[in-house]
Amino acid sequence: MLSHAVVKIEDQVNSILEKVTNLTLGLDRWMNPSDLSIIKHMAQNLASEIKDILQKIGPDKFAAIVTDNAANCALARSIISEKYPFIVNIHCIAHCVNLITKDVFGKFLLIFLNYFINLLNILVINN
């Protein structure tokens, strides 16, 4: 019964994919639910997975690929660009904002904690 439902959903998805254009492929975390790596994060492996998806659906249906800014993803995007120059490669702005936020607030938190510890030391010494 479940396999019948899966086949039905796959057919519906494939029917939709036949009609659409200008798809964007977004990639993030190549991990399984147990937080274990599904494949090695090497650029060649990522590019191979991307190529498989493009070939399965049809590369002409894709307008862009979005990944984070890690070196392996950048290299994978460059490998894909060589074969499919018409697919735009985009750095994920949400990932950039996340990294900037962590950096800014991480430094702010360290400064605050350092100030707080120094203040506690002064209070302890004076009492």
Asked if 11 and 48 sit in the same domain, the reply is yes
Q: What is the pLDDT of residues 98-111, one digit of tens each?
A: 888 888 877 787 78
pTM of the predicted structure, to 2 decimals:
0.66
Half-sphere CA count of 50, side-chain side, radius 13 A:
32
The count of structural domains within the chain is 2
Q: Would you state the pLDDT for residue 4?
A: 87
33-89 pLDDT per residue, tens: 666 655 567 888 889 999 999 999 999 999 999 988 888 888 999 999 999 999 999
d(CA 42, CA 13) in angstroms, rounded, equals 30
Same structural domain, 15 and 43: yes
CB 78 within 8 A of CB 102: no
The answer to whether 65 and 91 are in contact (CB under 8 A) is no
Please indicate, yes or no, whether residues 32 and 45 belong to a single structural domain of this protein.
yes
Q: What angle do CA 90, 96, 100 make, to 5 degrees?
A: 165
Regarding whether 85 and 66 lie in a shared domain, the answer is: yes
Which residue range is the domain that position 54 belongs to?
2-91
pLDDT bracket for residue 11 (50, 70, 90): very high
